Amino acid sequence: MLCDYHMHTRLTDAVNEPRDYARAAVAAGVAEIACTDHMPLVRPFAHGYMKPEDLPTYVGWVEAARREFPQLSILLGLELDYLPGIEPELRDLQQRYDWDFFLGGIHLIGEWNHDAPEAIERWRTTDVDAEWTAYFKLLTDAVRTGLYDSMAHPDLPKKFGFRPKGDLTPLFAQFLEACADTGVAIEISTAGLHKPCKEIYPSLEFLKLARARGVGITFGSDAHQPRHVGRDFDQAIALARAAGYSEFCRFAKRKKTLTPV
């Protein structure tokens, strides 16, 4: 059973609407999708996020896609960023609609969008280990809030090929222990295969650490075009099995169930 829990729309940094992603999912043999467009985030340094006034339109689009494609399970979700102190904003957002799934994503380290194309210049001159450390602290703090169901592309800082020189396994372990404590899953994202790192997020070694701690998984393409729905999921499933996973997480009304990989 293929379930793609990560995709965006033209309301943020992608193209098309949920109905287009739903149509592509049906064609690709994907049984369930979660629409997870970027949350409304009004900050002078935040770009590519939904406008607050567009949120009702987004929810309406998802509801319309459900009616048009009754043969497909379509979850109403968002990709939620985390910034220190943002918890009240997120709780308010979560109470507005009947959500199925919240995907966590750390795109901002302070005011720096570390995975934007222009970020590569800073990556060339920055202390790479320090940035990875800051990223994983934010990721761990986000998990501890209990406001997320799964954390997207966990080792995203490798996107442009800048990897830590030191051993950050203890840092990874702290994050994964927070996931185990709170029941938050991590995403296996095929998007990394099409980035400079040319590798699924997260790595096999990272996934083995997660499996050893009983951390669940979801699958996501991070589709920004309908044709990317379910892309390379054969590789994602193979990676999950290589790490020792036999089940993955699905959600409905934020309640988790397990399905064989």
Residue segments in the chain with a per-residue pLDDT below the cut of 70: none
- Residue 252 DSSP one-character state: E
Instruction: Single out the residue of 137, 121, 118 nearest to residue 129, CA to CA.
Output: 137
pLDDT of residue 228: 99
What pLDDT does 254 receive? 99
Sign of CA dihedral 50, 52, 54, 58: positive
Domain that holds residue 54: 3-260
pLDDT digits (tens, 9 = 90+) for 155-197: 999 999 999 998 989 999 999 999 999 999 999 999 999 999 9
For helices 204-212 and 169-182, the axis angle rounded to 10 degrees is 50
Please, are residues 96 and 55 in contact by the beta-carbon 8 Å criterion?
yes
Q: Is the dihedral of CA 47, 52, 54, 60 positive or negative?
A: positive
Residue 182's pLDDT is what?
A: 98
CA dist., res. 17 & res. 35, Å (int) = 10
In sequence order, the 6+-apart residues with CB closer than 8 A to the CB of 75 are 5, 32, 33, 34, 35, 100, 101, 251, 252
User: What's the number of CA atoms in the CB half-sphere (13 Å) around residue 66?
Assistant: 12
pLDDT at residue 53, rounded to an integer? 98
pLDDT of residue 27: 98
- Domains held by the chain: number: 1
The pLDDT, as a whole number, for residue 67 is 99
Q: Where residue 187 sits, what CATH number does that domain have?
A: 3.20.20.140
Q: What is the pLDDT of residue 141?
A: 98
Two tokens, residue 156: 């995203």
Phi/psi of residue 108, each to 5°?
Answer: -120, 125
**Strands 3-4 and 32-38, sheet pairing:** parallel
> What pLDDT shows up at residue 129?
97
pLDDT at 239: 99
User: What whole-number distance in Å separates Cα of residue 124 and Cα of residue 138?
Assistant: 22
* Distance in angstroms (rounded) separating the CA atoms of residues 69 and 28: 14
Alpha helices in 105-168 (DSSP H): 120-125, 128-144
Q: What is the pTM of this model?
A: 0.97
